[in-house]
Structure 1
Amino acid sequence: MIGRPKPPGLDAAAKIRARARSRQGPAAMMPDAVSALGVRVAGGPLVPLEIRRREPGPRDVVIDILFCGLCDCDVREGRKEGPAARLPLVPGHQIVGVVARTGAGAADLEPGARVGVGALVDSCRECAPCRAGQEQLCAGSVATYGALDPRTGDYTHGGYSKRIVVDRDFVLRIPAALDLAVAASLPCAGIRAYSTLLHPGVGPGSTVGVPDPGGRGALAARLAAAMGAAVNVPAAADPLQVVIDTGPRVPSLVGSVAETRQLLEFCAKHQVAPGFELVGAQGLNKAWERILAADVQHGFVLDLATLGGND
């Protein structure tokens, strides 16, 4: 996901609220106070925060976050100033961790299961895109951070935190063969590249050009090669069947939850591992400055073990 989508439309928001009410039960678990890193003052640095996650319902999954990939849109949203800034803001939509507990309707995700969360945490489930498995196109989709959550009336907080509560339908299983820190590099840049390759049917006999051989371009090239395509990096002047644009995209063009699950399985099977730098909580502001300065060879992944609290 790049940027913050518009708040859900009134009809979609009403559907999400009604669905959440119907799922509440007497066994609902109480919300937690959670340690996080976020922006408190418009344009200011990342600072330690304490946030409260919403009360989990029967189909919810409580996830202890271990790693969170950094995205350039985290920095853009965090550096916003003026009335458009929704503060405090806890970014992060490339989330990987383990299940702490679940409601009865999500019992297939046992405690300790390796899971992730991408760009979205909810949608109306009833519109044509949702029924077609393209919830990223839903007018009522709820972004993982910085979006109005119709369930609570508050803005969502992302993965620069120790814990998150997510609806079962938006939780991703992480294959055993995929390193958890590697998986945290995939739900944003990875799914954008994978979705771009998937839809034109890239495979043996295809030729793919990647204009930018940097972090995103290198990942796109690895994915294309694993699909059996010939890859030109940087793109040659000859005619190419597919040219991958590794620049920013609008939110509606991220991949679906199903495609993201497929991407994780594909990377585990073919051992596609993007390069990244692991960064601790104390180095997060410096990592943001390096992203602003385009001083990044690959990407960054935040190690949440370095953030105190909720241990």
Structure 2
Amino acid sequence: MSAFTAPFVEATLPCGNCREPMRRLTLPSHYGMPVELDVCAGCHLVWFDSTETARLNGPALLSLIGEMAGMQKLAHEVLRREAACPRCSGGLKTIHNQTRWGRSLQLECLVRHGAYQSFAQFLQEKGLLRPMSALDRARLIEQNGRIDCVNCGAAVGASDERCAYCQSVASLLDVARLARALDPEGAIAPHPVHGTQAEQAALQCVACGAALPPGQSLACGTCGATLAINRLADAHAQVDALAPALRAHAAKPAPAVVKRRLDALGEDIPRRRAWAAEMEASAQRRPEPVDDEFDWSSLFSRGTNPVRAVFIALAIWFVWYFWPRG
């Protein structure tokens, strides 16, 4: 498990697939407020409200991946057609999201209480998975004797495109990209942890053990192997050494990082000012509201007045209709 282990609190939400109680995982976010995710260990599903996963910071993402890896020890529950929203028991619909890493899927409540993602779909949305080539398959079988599903941990056939249990596409987890996702600001690059053997173990080629060159993420320059891992637990173990530095950065960012943030805000100020000026100009160009209040004095003015003519006609009709007849 990760050195930064998230506390579990008993949740009241039942899984909409297996109906077993889900566990609530409380994680830190970029904005200081905790984020709560409900996880079903047997179905290997994450339930989240709104954009909760987008707010996860580096330590939270590392912890969540560690918990996912631990849950893969449980037998997988097949996703049923009648799977429902855990909040309202209503139906779910498949949503295709477009991210900068490509398309991703989720099962969303019809009334938008939240959405499910499988472990693999969550990792795919973060851009951490890539397809498995024939060479990758051969190396994995030679190294591990089997190919593991990155979603549920079950064995995948040597020639199977998908896992027979959860139907996830056979994929590899990119370790170098995972390290960058954990530390998108590059905050721990100058940290002493990068000069230790623990850091080298966190970012090394899984085939030959050579240290990964900075910025290289597809192949090892020493042996040519891909810098990716099939087992989620192994991938988590590779980057778990970064947890203390990530947690320290989340608690107190380095001065250089704070300066970069302030510089980014400063660069954005002209755009915000231009937007505010445009909104103000647009408001000034709007026509004055029309006064719909009727001017009753116009009934007694000289000249032709259609409203006055209507009133006179109604008065004549009223007198004629109600005039007593002998």
Normalization by structure 2: what TM-score?
A: 0.28
Which protein has the bigger helix share?
2
Q: Which has the higher contact order (CA 8 A, sep 6+)?
A: 1
Higher Rg of the two aligned structures: 2
TM-score by length of 1: 0.29
